[in-house]
Amino acid sequence: MDNEGKKILVIQTHGVETPTRTYSPLFYAMAAAAMEMEVMVWFTMNGTNQLKKGEAEKVQLDKSSNVTLKTMIQMAMDSDVKLRVCQQSLELWNMKKEDLIDGVEILGATSIIDLSLNADHVMYF
Amino acid sequence: MSHEKINECVIPKDLHYSVEDNTWVRLNEDGTVTVGMTDIAQHLAGPILHAKAKGAGTDRKKGKPIATVESGKWVGPVKSPVSGVITEVNEKLAGDAQLINRSPYREGWVVKMKPEALDAELKEMVTGDQAVAAYKAKIERDNIKACNHIEGSDTY
């Protein structure tokens, strides 16, 4: 089965307070990108807080490794996974554009509806 | 086969390398090429859990994935160093993906391909002492730690 070129949208609603729920969605996004799919991760609700500068570095699942959530986010970006954040959710965390790590684009609620309809598959976390 | 070790990472000198993508090419007598991941690539990935190659007959342009490889901490493509058609897939990897870790240049090859533009594409790769120099620079630049070899790895 060849799935090249398909569009996968990953919706991440979990943030730094639940570390074990943060790595996998990014890992699946990277897997889809490696399989030549167009991949976007949409951060909303609590998911938004992991994009605040300085926060992802503090999340480390395996203390014996130097891989942090920041490493995972960077690897996803290096794999051409697009990262987007919900504009409305920024207010929930008192975050402004300048609080976000580089490489993340802000989109509104109507955009996520369009993106969902245009994706071949949506994964929710 | 003559080889060099840099920071415990093995670089056979008879292979052709796409240094940035960490892949190697061996020229076979029947006109096909064998493609695999380098020792540095297996080290960076860590113990590999799954390696899924594109099927025989798949036409690939240089730079497109010929396989996806995943370990506990990394998942990514193996990018084709040449353009051509995949003629054979290493079926052993389906049952034992860590062959790539243990034997990146022998038993752990990924695919064989019939190349379409080999002469031109070989010029974009490096071999011999030039490959050793290129990897030395990469290891220093990317601050790659000494290559780790899991139990049962080929010895050099």
Taking the CA of residue A34 and the nearest CA in chain B, the distance in Å comes to 5
Chain B residue with Cα closest to A29? B75
Residues of B with CB below 8 A from A67's CB? 73
> Is the confidence at residue B156, as pLDDT, over 90?
no
Q: Do the domain assignments include residue A2?
A: no
* Residue B87 CA from chain centroid, whole number: 17
Report the domain count for chain A: 1
Q: Do the domain assignments include residue A28?
A: yes
Q: Which domain holds residue B80?
A: 3-141
> Is the confidence at residue B73, as pLDDT, over 90?
no
Taking the CA of residue A115 and the nearest CA in chain B, the distance in Å comes to 24
At residue A65 the predicted structure's pLDDT band, cuts being 50, 70 and 90, is confident
Q: Rounded to an integer, what distance in angstroms lies between the CA atom of residue B49 and that of residue B95?
A: 10
Q: What is the pLDDT of residues A11-58, one digit of tens each?
A: 999 999 999 999 999 999 999 999 999 999 999 999 999 999 999 999
Q: Do the domain assignments include residue B97?
A: yes
Q: Do the domain assignments include residue B133?
A: yes
- Taking one residue from A and the other from B, the number of pairs with CB-CB distance under 8 angstroms is 22
Average per-residue pLDDT for chain B:
95
Q: Give, in degrees to the nearest 5, the angle at Cα A44 between A6 and A24.
A: 60
Report the domain count for chain B: 1
Q: Taking residues B95-123, what's their average pLDDT? A: 97
CATH number of the domain enclosing B110? 2.40.50.100
Q: Do the domain assignments include residue B156?
A: no
Q: Do the domain assignments include residue B154?
A: no
Q: Which domain holds residue A110?
A: 7-124
Whether residue A34 lies within 8 A of chain B, CB to CB, comes out as yes
CATH number of the domain enclosing A40? 3.40.1260.10
Q: What is the pLDDT of residues B53-65, one digit of tens each?
A: 999 999 999 999 9
Whether residue A35 lies within 8 A of chain B, CB to CB, comes out as yes
Instruction: Note the pTM of the prediction, 2 decimals.
Output: 0.86
Q: Do the domain assignments include residue B50?
A: yes
Per-residue confidence (pLDDT) for residue B109, from 0 to 100: 98
At residue A1 the predicted structure's pLDDT band, cuts being 50, 70 and 90, is low
Interface contact A67-B64, CB threshold 8 A: no
| DSSP collapsed to 3 states, chain B | CCEEEECCEEEECCCEEECCCCEEEEECCCCCEEEEECHHHHHHHCCEEEEEECCCCCEECCCCEEEEEEECCCEEEEECCCCEEEEEECCHHHHCCCHHHHCCCCCCCCEEEEECCHHHHHHCCEEHHHHHHHHHHHHHHCCCCCCCCCCCCCCC
Q: What is the pLDDT of residues A71-119, one digit of tens each?
A: 999 999 999 999 999 999 999 999 999 999 999 999 999 999 999 999 9
Q: Do the domain assignments include residue A11?
A: yes
Q: Do the domain assignments include residue B152?
A: no
Q: Do the domain assignments include residue B153?
A: no
Per-residue confidence (pLDDT) for residue B9, from 0 to 100: 95
Per-residue confidence (pLDDT) for residue B133, from 0 to 100: 96
Interface contact B77-A36, CB threshold 8 A: yes
Phi, psi of B97 (to 5 degrees): -65, -20
ipTM: 0.76
Per-residue confidence (pLDDT) for residue A3, from 0 to 100: 84
